[in-house]
Chain A
Amino acid sequence: AQSVAQPEDQVNVAEGNPLTVKCTYSVSGNPYLFWYVQYPNRGLQFLLKYITGDNLVKGSYGFEAEFNKSQTSFHLKKPSALVSDSALYFCAVRDREDGGATNKLIFGTGTLLAVQP
């Protein structure tokens, strides 16, 4: 079965320090991977995606993610965290079991990022 795992429920980091939010996936074939962010009482916002090409993907708000096929990972990173980055982060993979007929996403359980001033 296809799945996405976010092993950390919460990540704590001091403002100005680099941050990493981890994601691993299990999918047949080439994965299409996404990161979304959810601020309190808001809908999800798209951050970035990996479809093909360069393993380092740059996205919104200074975030980037590195696709690692051998480790089946797609970790989200930022060189210098801001307090305003504090939010819930979701990794997602496109479901391929429908043969590509839809844009169905499988979401991870989310990681709460807390950036301390």
Chain B
Amino acid sequence: DTAVSQTPKYLVTQMGNDKSIKCEQNLGHDTMYWYKQDSKKFLKIMFSYNNKELIINETVPNRFSPKSPDKAHLNLHINSLELGDSAVYFCASSQGRFYSYEQYFGPGTRLTVT
């Protein structure tokens, strides 16, 4: 069984469209994250939820909106897509929000905006 899964794996869309990426974890974790990895492989946190509460909200365009319907799911909705949004988006989860829990990553969603 996949621990952290994301759908879709690939997403190709045109500028101006709205799209969503879904993430699910079956590890029983209560904290989930969204990361963006750019073309140079630089990895940066975007958001984090703990028990459906937003706890990390980095400086990203407000076109990006996360939503966590329950502890096992975290979705990312992107409005009015731009060329610069092209990247690989990773979902991750951890056992808790504090201290030193390692994070478990999903396989990524490669978003290409044309």
Q: Which residues of A contact B (CB under 8 A)?
A: 32, 34, 36, 38, 41-46, 49, 51, 88, 90, 94, 100-105, 107, 109-110
Q: Which of B31, B44, B104 contacts A46 (CB 8 A)?
A: B104
Contacts of A42 in B (CB 8 A): 107-108
Closest B residue, CB atoms, query A107: B43
Stretch at the interface among B12-20, B62-70, B77-85, B95-103: B95-103
Q: How large is the interface on B (under 10, 10 to 19, 20 to 34, 35 or more residues)?
A: 20 to 34
Contacts of A38 in B (CB 8 A): 41
Q: Are B56 and A104 in contact (CB under 8 A)?
A: yes
A90 to B92, CA, bound (A): 15
A53 to B56, CA, bound (A): 29
Contacts of B45 in A (CB 8 A): 104-105
Closest A residue, CB atoms, query B106: A43
Q: Are A43 and B42 in contact (CB under 8 A)?
A: no
Contacts of B40 in A (CB 8 A): 109
Q: Are B96 and A103 in contact (CB under 8 A)?
A: yes
Q: Which residues of B contact A (CB under 8 A)?
A: 4, 31, 40-45, 48, 50, 55-56, 90, 92, 94, 96-108
Q: Are B56 and A34 in contact (CB under 8 A)?
A: no
Q: Are A43 and B96 in contact (CB under 8 A)?
A: no
Contacts of A105 in B (CB 8 A): 45, 103
Q: Are B103 and A109 in contact (CB under 8 A)?
A: no
Q: Are B97 and A103 in contact (CB under 8 A)?
A: yes
Q: Which of A51, A103, A110 contacts B98 (CB 8 A)?
A: A103
Q: Are B103 and A102 in contact (CB under 8 A)?
A: no
Q: Are B90 and A104 in contact (CB under 8 A)?
A: no
Q: Show 25 A/B contacts (Cβ-Cβ < 8 Å), sorted by A.
A: A34-B102, A43-B90, A43-B108, A44-B43, A44-B103, A44-B105, A46-B102, A90-B43, A94-B100, A100-B98, A101-B98, A102-B55, A102-B97, A102-B98, A103-B97, A103-B98, A103-B99, A103-B100, A103-B103, A105-B45, A109-B41, A109-B42, A110-B41, A110-B42, A110-B43
